[in-house]
Chain A
Amino acid sequence: MNCEVCHLKELEVEHFEIREVLRCILHTIVFHRALGLVRPKDIDLELFEITYVQCGDVEVEKKIDEKIEQFISWVEKHPNKKSQICLSFYEVKNKQQSWFTNKIERLYWEQWYVNLNVIQLPKAHSSKSHHSKVVVDPGESTSEERSIRRAALEASLRDVLFQIIKFVNEKKDHVPPISEGVVYFPYEITLPSSSDSAFGMDMIKRMLQTGHPTMLS
């Protein structure tokens, strides 16, 4: 079973927008992969005029929120960096215990990469995003600029959601069969590592993942 990978469109977000954007994207993905009996829960974003759907599971909500908080704290330590959050769905395969590992094998059959570019406008912080092409100057912090940015982000977020829907529609064969009593497929959310060269490490990790199911922290 091949692992389908979907790289979502990069979003340029401000620090305070991370939580809502990530919740929206991650819950939408999980909802599409919670194929058990669900009672969908509509959530209206506060910052944007977008309504996304949660699968309604409390555990899912808790886990996602935890990861988001970890990511935010990571972003605070590594400001102005492009970051990536990986949402992976796997199947649990019992593997015979080998001599070096007793782990339960995970067979990833789908991975979603959420690409964020967290920018910081020069209000409290004077640092500028070297990845961002936007020149940081006091003019950007005007409310008009902010609203323009907000509108652009909303459109981009909508595009990302459409991207998810299209991907879910196009790729269905790789989805494992639904187990009785299981609401959602097991998943994990991977945050960038704390290393400086997070992008490179992610690439290496991705290379290691394919064909080699390993436990990722």
Chain B
Amino acid sequence: MASSHSNVHSEAAKMEQIITEFHTKSLHIILESRSPYVSSRNFSGEQILSSPSSSCSSSSSVRPRDKWFNLALRECPAALENLDLWRQSNLEPMVIDVILVQRPVNWDTVNVSPKRELVRNLSSKGRYPFCWGFDQEEIGCEGKSEKIVERWVVKYESRKVRDCSSGSRRSSNNTLSNVYKKSILLLRSLYATVRILPAYKIFRDLNSSGQICTFSLAHRVSSFVEPFTRKEEAEFQRFGFTPVDTSCGRLCISVLYRSSLSDVNSEPSTPITPQVIPDYVGSPLADPLKRLPSFPISHGSPSSLPFSRRHSWSYDHYKASPPSVSFSPSPTYSEPLVSISSPRSRCYPPMSLPPHPPETSLVHKKDTGFDEYCPSPNFTPSASPSPPIYIPGGHLSKGLLRTESAPFSIPAAKLSSNKQNLFPSSPIKIARSGTSKTEKSLGPIQNGATIEKLLSLGKDDSRRYSGVKLSGNSSPQISFSRSSSRSFQDDFDDEFPCPFDVEDIVPNSRLESFDQKGLLSDPHDPGGFFPIRKSQDAAVGALVCMLKKAPPLRQDLSSTTNLSEVSRPESWSNNILEPRRISEVPSGQNAPSLSVLSSSLLSSKTTADALEELQSYKEMKNLLLSQGGRSHASANYPSPAEPSSRGSNA
């Protein structure tokens, strides 16, 4: 009696276990074919092909749970999660809703794809619902429509207790082995059925398609759901599996499914076409390490070419910048490529870079950057004449046209006779062509260098000319500024507003006349600011003449003052040179010894004159800035409040 009692208990326990595992297995079978990305189809197929042992005999590799009902399935995370949440007793039904989620067609987000289905347990235990695994959840949740396409009900209907105690359980039909065998059959048919129902096609399309889908499958496991209305139920067809009778009840599986899912656009939408960002603002020169904004992604090969272009562009301008710098954004793009496209069956949008938008934006940037092109101090003369590789041809021709048509081509011709290699003005003119968007990063440096040079020139004429005798780096700056000043005077729209524009053409003639006549007779002589455009020899000659004709320092302090006034760079003011200072220079005065005079000049110019010059520079600069601001809003010069510091940068 006791043994039979224990047998009954053990049998009951085993039966209970069979019922529990039956629920588990059925949930697994259903979810693995309704939850995209995870299915045993791939697993088993690969397993068969790869493993040497046949599937039947490889019981050792089968997990213990797989052996239940002799159906070895791949792990289904969705099912496992639900099993963790599903701590129901066997008496509560398990309702699995398969939901078709359709997103609106005009869905313009990127990086959105269903990573996993939504798993919401609405059981009475009050578990919190999870959210969609969208990358951009707020967009993914908007405008989507959900429709239940299948409802599976797995339940154990228990009979009344008194029926269980009857001898029916001892019939051969209700033995454990029989129940187990019939459960196996039932689950086999369930496994085949889930693949015949219409929703399986959606699942397969989601798994196999690598394109963006406007629909997705979700599931919901609960123990209680609101029954369908009569109208809703009319849209479904019912299929019920034959229950498996147990000693105290029966195991039932039934499904309500929509026979036709024709409204589902099973064809995945076309990949999002690359979108051109028309107003992309950003210069690679300003921030070469700046990550490009997130582009709409689509199929396509990784755009290494735009980055190579950008690299070459930046490399031409920044010799110091290593090539790896410009490539830094690209790894950030390759990361989504790796991480997202790896799952084979995921319905992810292809995370490859569209080649066109970066090209377009880079070309756009090149247009601006090219116009902002100012050679860095490190630029060698050999490099400066060569324009960057990807120069917009139109700009190039435009620049050439401009330079050729500009009046300031004259000094270029003049300069050509005198050490033109030091004044490669032609590439500078090319650089200035097109729009006159100033180069931010180089502008201050250049301005600072120019200021420094001019300050040094203001201080010491000899040093000035030594400053004039520059390496190829700085001279382009100066000539650049001069050419820009000329264009500025001539009211060209594409000015590069340089605050140190000075008259140039006339000083050339003045210098020549100066050389010839020994007099600063030209009213447009800038005076203190001798034209740097002239050759060194002419400049030196002019200085000597001036010194010779200068009044003696000792005798006449006023003359000294006049000389200092002469040197005052008030001629830097807007385009008009004040001749009075030049004319103030008394002529015919007996000059003291040149050395004494030069020293006096030097001393007179070291302090106050320098400060005055600086002041005038500032005024001129501000004036030009205001003018430049009017003509070009983008022109933005930082104030040379710290010329020394900027000079140090040069």
Contact = CB atoms under 8 A, between A and B. Distances in A.
Interface in B176-198: 177-178, 181-182, 184-186, 188-189, 191-193, 195-196
Interface residues of B, number: 39
Contacts of A44: 204
Interface string B502-517: 0000000000000000
Given A168-B185, A169-B185, A175-B185, A38 B72 contact: yes
Interface string B44-63: 11011000001110110010
Interface string A156-193: 00100110110011101101011000010000000000
A35 B39 CA distance: 21
Interface string B540-583: 00000000000000000000000000000000000000000000
Contacts of B56: 36-39, 55-57, 183
A164 B188 CA distance: 11
Contact of A41 (B48, B188, B189): B48
A42 B195 contact: yes
Q: Which of A42, A44, A53, A161 has the most CB of B within 10 A?
A: A42
Interface residues of A, number: 35
Given A37-B67, A42-B44, A168-B185, A53 B192 contact: yes
B242 A178 contact: no
A183 B71 CA distance: 11
Contact of B196 (A39, A41, A162): A162
Given A36-B70, A38-B71, A40-B44, A165 B195 contact: no
B267 to A, nearest CB: 13
B40 interface: yes
A185 B70 CA distance: 14
B241 interface: yes
B236 interface: no
A67 interface: no
Query: DSSP majority for the A interface?
Result: mixed
Nearest to B47: A39
B103 interface: no
Contacts of A38: 55-56, 70-72
A169 B242 contact: yes
Interface string A39-53: 111101000011111
B120 interface: no
B201 interface: yes
B185 A35 contact: yes
Contact of A37 (B70, B173, B178, B189): B70
Contact of A165 (B41, B173, B193): B193
A165 B73 CA distance: 20
Contacts of B54: 56-58
Contacts of A57: 54-56
Given A38-B71, A56-B44, A57-B55, 18 more contacts: A37-B70, A38-B56, A39-B40, A40-B40, A40-B73, A40-B191, A42-B45, A51-B195, A51-B204, A52-B195, A55-B55, A55-B56, A158-B196, A164-B192, A165-B193, A168-B189, A172-B244, A173-B173
29 contacts: A35-B70, A35-B181, A37-B59, A37-B70, A38-B56, A39-B48, A39-B62, A39-B72, A39-B73, A40-B44, A40-B191, A41-B41, A51-B195, A51-B196, A52-B195, A53-B195, A56-B48, A56-B55, A56-B56, A58-B54, A161-B192, A165-B192, A168-B188, A172-B185, A172-B244, A177-B177, A178-B70, A178-B181, A183-B56
